[in-house]
Structure 1
Amino acid sequence: MRTRNVLLSYWRWPPVLRLFVSASALIVLFGALMRFIEPETFRTVFDGVWWAIVTSATIGYGDIVPKTVAGKLAAIGLIILGTGILTAYFASVSAAAAARETAFTSGQLRYTERGHAVIVGWNERAREVLLRLARHDASMRFVLIDATVPSHPLLNAPVHFIKGTASDDAVLEKANIQEARFLLITADPHKAEAEADKDTIVTLLAAKSLNPSVYAIVEILTGRNVQNAFRAGADEVIQTNLLASFAMAASLRSPGAASVWETALYRLDGQTLCLLEPDEQQIGQPFAAVQQQLLKQNVTLLGVIHGDHGAISVAPDRPIQQSDRLFVLAP
């Protein structure tokens, strides 16, 4: 019964593992056999194993060779059996590597690491986000989910591609959303704004149901759906139409203002906008004093965020409070 269970277990192993075990067993068996047949030529079992390896691999160094008829017959058997098994093993390894690479580029390979960021939707915004973050944070890993591109669209970046609809639980699980740290959902540029927002919120609900703690950032195109996104569990909402209209209005009021803003954004390659918690020494000091202190560290204080609605203050005499967050431009 035990032998039968072992055999059944053996045939359930992956083909590559079965071939490896078979080849290893064959090499050890013939190595021990040659030690038994020709003890003067093969002084140790290791000598026999070494000979079996180089013989079955068709290398044949010739440093140890059988001298008796029995030894030569054993060598013939090893060549017939061992060469075939090793060839099959290396062919299986190559096929498995090729299949894995095909699955990776086609978006079928499951992602197994944790602490990553999941990006939903492939468009120019997603491309810029991935390239910019990959340039400035080499430790961060990304999973891109999209159903429209035929294969991996960004092979030169640390991005794992999953092909499929992000509102599908199976696709999100393949992206390992349960272990993700961030989720960014971009709006589908191929759909009407209201329809794109609807898909974004449905995807957000699906992701939050699988990982309620993931920090979700969503792109919303219509103002009336902002609150719906927050109700669905969004931690942060980006209104791209609002940002674009702000730039357009600025240019209409002051021609060239939007171009200057765009140029400034492109030149932030060495720096980034971020929120910092004030330290104990900064609490109680006026905004202007803290701004001067941070400038010495090559950090520019742009404003102080306070209140539940994220109100921003730049009053120079306003003291920094413990509940404030510093909005800075930092290296």
Structure 2
Amino acid sequence: MNPSVVSRLALANVVANGVIVVTGGAVRLTGSGLGCPTWPECTDGSIRPTPELAGHGLIEFGNRLLTFALVVVAVATVVAVFASARRDLRRLAVLSLLGIPAQALLGGVTVLTGLNPWTVAAHFLLSMVLVAIATVLWLRSREPGVGQLVVRRPFALLATGIAAAVAAVLVVGTVVTGSGPHSGDPEAGRTGFDPELVSQLHADVVFLLIGLTVALLVALAATDSPGRVRRAARDLLVVELLQGVIGYVQYFTHLPALLVLLHMAGAVLITVYTARLLWSVRGPASELPVGSDTAVLRTAPLPGAVPGAR
């Protein structure tokens, strides 16, 4: 299998996973979360929405149909990976595929529990995991295998800390959503937390994330680290700042649906760029690890030395 085909399918897999998150947000923001009130059927005895469900049923059913498109892309990616020589990509491709039925089952539980805010949160967070897996799969498919660290180990640990902070931001963000007005259906329950309090906690974790990212970027610049890592840290910081602006604007404008949807798209992008940062700290299999240049210098002949002289 041509490597470029594998890479293009892997990229399509990233896009498909991101799109279904945003469309799922549109379902919630239009109040169509229970447009199909049961699962796996839309209504008792019907796989399709009935006229009585009107537009809400069509919106929810349309989002369910997108899952099949995602399955097609994920299966094509798995087939392409297994047909290629890239054995190192197989686990990621399989995980990306297996995550879809797991996500569908969790979505079914979400519907059957009447959009319980905790199952809604779990549904979203699993989507973020699948986006991250698909992103790493795509990035790795563009290089000849995974090499050694290309930055000092403390920097790699800091990148891991940033990823942990992103996870915390996403988790707390789902609690904010579960405490706010956009429940997906007028009858859906809420967490019971004070929206203002959890929003402040969310903002505090975001400040921590931005601080860690700035610290990494400064450290990388000060030590003349590889450009791929510096670009990954820089781009993640830009996305974080844009996402922060959207978050503040939506909060002070009382959560208009369009801005909330943009904020969800921003969460997808932050997940993608965080996965890219973690990918960037290890070079391709063909690259030498950090410190290997020292060994090269030790074996290189001195200027003016006679070849073969002892």
> Relative contact order (C-alpha < 8 Å, sep 6+): which is higher?
2
Fold match (TM-score > 0.5): no
TM normalised by structure 1 equals 0.21
Select the structure that is richer in strand. Answer: 1
Look at both structures and tell me which one has the larger radius of gyration over its CA atoms.
1
TM normalised by structure 2 equals 0.22
